[in-house]
Amino acid sequence: MLKREIEDGDVTLADPAFRADVLRGLATRPRAIPARWFYDRRGSELFEAITDLPEYYPTRTETAILREVTPQVAALAGEGRAVVEFGSGSSTKTPILLSAVAPAAYVPIDISGDFLRESSAGLASAFPGLPVLPVEADFLHPIALPAQVAGLPKLGFFPGSTIGNMIPHASVDLLRAMKQSLGEGAMLLIGMDRVKDEDTLVAAYDDAAGVTAGFNLNLLERINRELGATIPIDRFRHRALWNDDRARIEMHLEAQDDLDFTVEGRPFAIRAGETIHTENSHKYGPRDARILLRSGGWTPIAEWTDPAGLFAVILAEA
């Protein structure tokens, strides 16, 4: 593994999977780097800031829906379930669900052990008596849950429209993996962002204050820092566009000039106007969402939206 000293004395271990994704992503056409690499410490802070932006409607809309409907979720789910959250601990949404459902246990699953430990400790103290059983794992694959919840029926929780980051094919794989992880009699509460007018969608990913631009560009900062790259970050521009054919927002980093740089000593070139594709955020109409769930092996049983129909929260059963 690579070890690099940073100016402030901090030491970062470059993740070999990050290195492989970046080197491959810059060498292939179109250039693309998976969105999961946005979330280093700075990227996670910037995402938190995005969720407070006036243009970024998903977080506040989904939170309002959950406040309203989690008592109905609790009634439909019945008593004695273990809540299993995929991608641990959104600080505001999780307590809303846990308060309403009063589950027998809470199992947050996350690939990042640091965030997992922080959010688990917070929730354990907010819900005394609730067994909090964190699992550090990649939930894209079926996961063995802790033995303590083996006999309990599960309620999966996948908020935030995180599923929108994946292309439909991968989303279906993920839904199937979740079904397998959660087992017999499981239910799933999932948040999905809806198709809506293009101006609203583009503004949510290209805010006036430039926070999302900073979030996107931070990926290049991370590559320079962790992979010893020489990317001229100020020569790239944030772009957010609506791909109507594929019903998704795409984020790109667009070169402003013909540029040459190295990553771990390897040379790369990009011409003015060419881009690195950094994120997809798929949006689903009501029928699209239900078909996606059914394709992944889940039967939708209840569905809620905000009055403007911006965002949907769907309860499904295995």
Question: Within its chain, how far is the Cα of 83 from the centroid?
Answer: 18
Q: In angstroms, what is the minimal distance from the CB of 278 to ligand AVJ? A: 9
310 binds ligand AVJ (CB under 6 A): no
**In the structure encoding, which two tokens stand for residue 254, read together?**
């667009």
* Of the candidate residues 32, 33, 50, 253, the single one contacting ligand AVJ (CB under 6 A): 50
Q: Are 282 and 247 in contact (CB under 8 A)?
A: yes
Nearer to ligand AVJ, 85 or 152 (CB): 85
* Of the candidate residues 61, 120, 281, 305, the single one contacting ligand AVJ (CB under 6 A): 281
* Of the candidate residues 160, 168, 296, 300, the single one contacting ligand AVJ (CB under 6 A): 160
For β-strands 248-255 and 105-110, DSSP reports them as: unpaired
191 binds ligand AVJ (CB under 6 A): no
Q: In angstroms, what is the minimal distance from the CB of 198 to ligand AVJ? A: 15
212 binds ligand AVJ (CB under 6 A): yes
Q: Binding residues for ligand AVJ, how many (CB under 6 A)?
A: 12
70 binds ligand AVJ (CB under 6 A): no
User: Nearest CA to 244 among 212, 293, 201?
Assistant: 201
How many other β-carbons are positioned within 10 Å of the β-carbon of residue 12?
A: 15
Q: Which ranges of 10-133 would DSSP assign to H, the alpha helix? A: 16-27, 41-51, 57-77, 93-101, 113-126
58 binds ligand AVJ (CB under 6 A): yes
Q: How far apart are CA 189 and CA 161, in angstroms?
A: 11
Q: In angstroms, what is the minimal distance from the CB of 6 to ligand AVJ? A: 25
Nearer to ligand AVJ, 145 or 314 (CB): 314
305 binds ligand AVJ (CB under 6 A): no
With 0-12 CB in 10 A as exposed, 13-18 as middle and 19+ as buried, what is 224?
Answer: middle
Length of the chain in terms of residues written: 318
Question: In Å, what is the CA distance from 288 to each residue of 285, 293, 306?
Answer: 5, 9, 18
How many other β-carbons are positioned within 10 Å of the β-carbon of residue 102?
A: 13
Nearer to ligand AVJ, 36 or 235 (CB): 36
Q: In angstroms, what is the minimal distance from the CB of 180 to ligand AVJ? A: 23
110 binds ligand AVJ (CB under 6 A): no
Q: What kind and span of H or E run contains 181?
A: helix 168-182
Taking CB under 6 A as the binding criterion, the range among 108-116, 144-152, 162-170, 261-269 that sits at the site for ligand AVJ is 162-170
* Of the candidate residues 165, 171, 181, 218, the single one contacting ligand AVJ (CB under 6 A): 165
162 binds ligand AVJ (CB under 6 A): yes
206 binds ligand AVJ (CB under 6 A): no
* Of the candidate residues 86, 106, 205, 236, the single one contacting ligand AVJ (CB under 6 A): 205
Query: What torsion, rounded to 10 degrees, do the Cα atoms 147, 148, 153, 158 define?
Result: -80
User: Nearest CA to 175 among 97, 290, 72?
Assistant: 290
**DSSP label of 132:** B
Q: How far apart are CA 91 and CA 82, in angstroms?
A: 19
296 binds ligand AVJ (CB under 6 A): no
Nearer to ligand AVJ, 63 or 103 (CB): 63
125-154 footprint of ligand AVJ as x/- string (CB under 6 A): ------------------------------
> Which residues of this chain interact with ligand AVJ, rule CB under 6 A?
50, 58, 160-162, 164-165, 205, 212, 215, 279, 281
